[in-house]
Structure 1
Amino acid sequence: MSATPSVSFNLPSLAWTSLSDWQAITVTGADSKSYLQGQVTCDVVQLDAEHSTLGAHCDAKGKMWSLFRLFHHNQGYALWQHKSGIETALQEIKKYSVFSKVDLELSSQVSVGVLGEQADSFIDSITDSQGDVRSVASGSVVKIDSQRWLLLIDEAELDNLKQQLQSAEEISADVWDYIDVISGIPRITQSQQNTHIPQTLNLQALDGISFEKGCYTGQETVARAKYRGTNKKVMRLLQGSAPENATFTFERQVGENWRGAGEAVAHYRNQQGEALALIVLNKDIEFDTQFRLAEDNSNTWSLIALPYDIEQ
């Protein structure tokens, strides 16, 4: 098993990118905390205003409609997630909101990523507070990891932000995808909705599931997967090469034959064709198993290690 990926990216010391494929569902109202607590896998009650958490919203059988980053935002909460499928995600999570004093809607705010080793210093220069989540005039600034921040702000604030970022390099949003994939951070897009339970996408290893909080939709399945070991699938990291416009649907080698292995949850491809993909596989799959893209028989892909322990 390879310990480190061969696909790399040299991140500028300070860069920014427009995250147009991402959007938030906002949750406001007197019952917003208690309503979310009964709907999502993470512990909303214990989440303070200075931190964010990954989490998921499931159906009654524990299959995920959405996977998001949750944080306090504009006197309520934001569930920031990939835009693909977000309309369905909103319909599902607001299904029982009529019984509570809560409003859930799609945010019209824009998402901007600030990246690089100087990202912390830049964020410090435009905010007055500390913490991994900070309020700004029109929205929130959220630390994703050691070199990434998310800004969820009004579109009217963009020009001012770009002025402040004059010394930063504008880069492609693909770099955000690269860091997500190499970090083993999953997402739910429309084609993956209502397909996976949270543990299948390693959410327990990313602190996106609370096993101590009270009941929420799909909890029985999620708890059974942990305590009875019923989950037989996990998300793994693959590397290889891919042609332009690849579908990132994989096959795996079984003896002399090839069998379908599924569609990537997330992927990244650089200009040289080097690529990475996150894919759901059986827990017991051998690490020397070879893979290939369904439409490309000329190159094989191999498993590499994730940066966290999934044997939980």
Structure 2
Amino acid sequence: MSWLDTLNTLGVQVDESGNCQVSAAVTNASATITPLTHLGLFDVTGPDAEKFLQGQLSCDVQKVRAGKSLLGSHCNIKGAMVSLSRILPVENGFWLRTERPVLDTAMANLKKYMIFSKAESHDLSDEIIGLGFCGEQAATLLSAQGFSIPAETGECSAGHEGVLIRVPDDRFELWLPEQQAEPLLKTLLTTGSLTGTDNWKLAEIRSGLPSLQRDTLETFIPQMTNLQIFDGVSFSKGCYTGQEVVTRLQHRGKLNRPMYRLAFTATKAPAAGTVINTPDRAGVGTVVSAAMDSDSSGELLAVMLKTSFDDDGAILTLDDNDQPLVRLNLPYELDPELFERPQRL
């Protein structure tokens, strides 16, 4: 039985984009389990895997090798992100987790530079299964199945032939082989409850975590998505593709468009890449990710022109939706110096 067949027997329906919906209502919100069908995973392995990724990704891959999972972007020479992945350490290399619709593109872009390295890459999305855990009892649920619970955000542990990562807001991502995932999920559901993709995406948005989709590839420099907050950009490790532009923005430039969190009113979440406008100016923002919170409202992350919020009475709206957006707080503060152009001597 395939993984999708297993999910179907549990009342989970997966659409063409990989998003899943659960027919049964959540009964235990203190421990929820989300099949991460909207995400995929590929590997980079071989003797040169670490050296290769260190020269391509924005994060410090040496920290990943030491046991810490980080977000990392692959940029073009102009510093714009062509992919964004969570990097996991595994034997003989790394797993890179990214949005399933752009996985092929992410892997292909890295492979273009891999030809002169002793490294190789394969799509593992049909072999390695992802589960997301939220709620007060999530750690207890996993511990009962023999997992060692990572103490700090970004730390990893091994178990059931897979990798468990603690991610922001005391949530967990678990990636493990399909043959391990099926019996484990059925055991977990004796205590935890299944939820759909929107539940996980909403938690990611509330944690202020960015993602990339087809319509936002090569659109944002890493700092525009607040990636530096999560140690997703290293300013000390040395050269990588696009590094000069990224570093110049950090130390000599001025960030005009950071990422914000907003609430929207609609019956469907806006797609990544949807434009945000004011009455006086079109294109002041671009949706990064969005998820529904109820039948008629949800939350989103958007890269926004910072001056859009200078006027407390400014009205922000999505294209084709005249309902005003409402700014919400992020769980972190951005360095104010990013918004000030350094004085030239």
The TM-score with structure 2 as length reference comes to: 0.81
SS at match of 2:258: strand
Aligned counterpart in structure 1 of residue 226 of structure 2, from 202, 212, 222:
202
Q: Which residue of 1 aligns with 2:325?
A: 301
Q: 1-side partners of 2:297 and 2:237: how far apart?
A: 42
Greater alpha carbon shift after TM alignment, 28-37 vs 262-271: 262-271
How far did 1:18 drift? 0.7
Q: Which residue of 1 aligns with 2:5?
A: none
Q: Please show how residues 98-113 of structure 1 align to structure 2 within 5 Å.
A: 98-107=115-124, 108=126, 109-113=128-132
How far did 1:76 drift? 1.7
Q: 1-side partners of 2:270 and 2:112: how far apart?
A: 36
Which string of whole-angstrom CA distances, capped at 9 and with x for unpartnered residues, describes residues 119-163 of structure 1?
112222334545331122332111113431111111122221123
Q: Which residue of 2 aligns with 1:154?
A: 177
Q: 1-side partners of 2:299 and 2:320: how far apart?
A: 16
Aligned counterpart in structure 2 of residue 43 of structure 1, from 37, 42, 60:
60
Q: 2-side partners of 1:193 and 1:210: how far apart?
A: 21
How far did 1:51 drift? 1.9
Q: 2-side partners of 1:125 and 1:111: how far apart?
A: 19
User: Structure 1 pair 243/146, CA: closer, same or farther in 2 (3 Å)?
Assistant: closer
Aligned counterpart in structure 1 of residue 29 of structure 2, from 6, 9, 12:
12
Aligned counterpart in structure 2 of residue 211 of structure 1, from 228, 235, 251:
235
Which string of whole-angstrom CA distances, capped at 9 and with x for unpartnered residues, describes residues 219-260 of structure 1?
000000001124321111111311336447344324xx4523
Aligned counterpart in structure 2 of residue 52 of structure 1, from 69, 84, 88:
69
Q: 1-side partners of 2:269 and 2:120: how far apart?
A: 39
SS at match of 1:260: coil
Q: Which residue of 2 aligns with 1:185?
A: 209
Work out whether residues 134 and 172 of structure 2, in 8 Å CA contact, stay in contact via their aligned partners in 1.
Answer: yes
Q: 2-side partners of 1:186 and 1:155: how far apart?
A: 27
Which has the higher relative contact order, 1 or 2, with Cα contacts under 8 A spaced 6 or more apart? 1
Work out whether residues 259 and 304 of structure 2, in 8 Å CA contact, stay in contact via their aligned partners in 1.
Answer: yes
| 2:182 equivalent to 1:163 | no
Q: Which residue of 2 aligns with 1:5?
A: none
Which string of whole-angstrom CA distances, capped at 9 and with x for unpartnered residues, describes residues 167-212 of structure 1?
1111112111001111111001111111111011111122211111
Q: Which residue of 1 aligns with 2:17?
A: none
Identity of aligned residues (%): 30
Q: Which residue of 2 aligns with 1:3?
A: none
Q: Which residue of 2 aligns with 1:145?
A: 168
User: Structure 1 pair 280/309, CA: closer, same or farther in 2 (3 Å)?
Assistant: same
Q: Which residue of 2 aligns with 1:264?
A: 287
Work out whether residues 129 and 175 of structure 2, in 8 Å CA contact, stay in contact via their aligned partners in 1.
Answer: yes
User: Structure 1 pair 206/245, CA: closer, same or farther in 2 (3 Å)?
Assistant: closer
Q: 2-side partners of 1:250 and 1:238: how far apart?
A: 13
| 2:197 equivalent to 1:173 | yes
Q: 1-side partners of 2:60 and 2:271: how far apart?
A: 36
- What's the Cα RMSD here? 2.1
Which string of whole-angstrom CA distances, capped at 9 and with x for unpartnered residues, describes residues 28-57 of structure 1?
111111111101011111334432111111
SS at match of 1:45: helix
Work out whether residues 250 and 291 of structure 1, in 8 Å CA contact, stay in contact via their aligned partners in 2.
Answer: no
Q: 2-side partners of 1:75 and 1:116: how far apart?
A: 33
Letter in 2 for 1:171: T
Work out whether residues 73 and 135 of structure 1, in 8 Å CA contact, stay in contact via their aligned partners in 2.
Answer: no
Work out whether residues 40 and 58 of structure 1, in 8 Å CA contact, stay in contact via their aligned partners in 2.
Answer: yes
User: Structure 1 pair 246/62, CA: closer, same or farther in 2 (3 Å)?
Assistant: closer
Q: How many residues align?
A: 301
SS at match of 2:260: strand
How far did 1:100 drift? 1.0
Greater alpha carbon shift after TM alignment, 127-136 vs 83-92: 127-136
Structure 1: give runs of 5+ residues left out of the alignment. Answer: 1-8
Letter in 2 for 1:147: D
Work out whether residues 276 and 286 of structure 2, in 8 Å CA contact, stay in contact via their aligned partners in 1.
Answer: no
Which string of whole-angstrom CA distances, capped at 9 and with x for unpartnered residues, describes residues 54-112 of structure 1?
11111111110111111202432111111121111111112121111111121131211
SS at match of 1:240: strand
The TM-score with structure 1 as length reference comes to: 0.89
Q: Which residue of 2 aligns with 1:252?
A: 277
Letter in 2 for 1:233: R
Greater alpha carbon shift after TM alignment, 102-111 vs 26-35: 102-111
User: Where is the strand percentage greater, Structure 1 or Structure 2?
Assistant: 1
SS at match of 1:80: strand
How far did 1:164 drift? 2.3
How far did 1:272 drift? 3.0
User: Structure 1 pair 260/96, CA: closer, same or farther in 2 (3 Å)?
Assistant: closer
SS at match of 1:222: helix
SS at match of 2:308: coil
